[in-house]
């Protein structure tokens, strides 16, 4: 699969995480081929941390893991969609999703 991927200049792809039951978008992370393979093999979502420059297993410290139900590449092979079952709040703030800040006209 990695041969078809269109990685960015840092060797990464954006990964949209969606709740498998509600279809709510939970978060956006970045994956490299190694984190994609770990995700496929373990059934838990792994990302590549751009700030720490290392792999990280979502929920490894909090216990709020994301259990993979399915993975898809988009039509351009440059973005991943992962449907997952969250084992708790996904956002580091404690919110259910990272997308909880509405943009208003003000």
Listed by start position, the domains of the chain span 2-86
pLDDT band at 3 (very low <50, low <70, confident <90, very high): low
- Given a cut of 70, is residue 2 above it in pLDDT? no
Which segments of the chain are extended strands (E)? 13-19, 25-31, 46-49, 54-57, 66-73, 80-86
Mean pLDDT of 76-100: 96
| Helix and strand numbers, DSSP H then E, in the chain | 1, 6
What CATH fold (topology level) applies to the domain 2-86? Ubiquitin-like (UB roll) (3.10.20)
Query: pTM score, two decimals?
Result: 0.91
The rounded mean pLDDT for the chain is 95
Query: What's residue 67's pLDDT?
Result: 98
Mean pLDDT throughout 59-81? 96
Flag whether pLDDT at 42 surpasses 90.
yes
pLDDT beyond 90 at 103: yes
Three-class SS state of 55:
strand
Amino acid 106: pLDDT? 79
């Amino acid at each position: 699969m990695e041969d078809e991927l269109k990685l960015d200049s840092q060797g990464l792809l954006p990964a949209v995480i969606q709740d498998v039951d509600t279809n709510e978008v939970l978060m956006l992370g970045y994956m490299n081929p190694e984190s994609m393979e770990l995700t496929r093999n373990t059934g838990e979502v792994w990302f590549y941390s751009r700030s720490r420059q290392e792999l990280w297993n979502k929920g490894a410290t909090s216990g709020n893991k994301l259990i993979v139900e399915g993975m898809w590449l988009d039509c351009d092979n440059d973005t991943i969609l992962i449907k997952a079952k969250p084992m708790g709040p996904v956002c580091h703030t404690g919110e259910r999703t990272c997308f909880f800040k509405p943009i208003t006209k003000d």
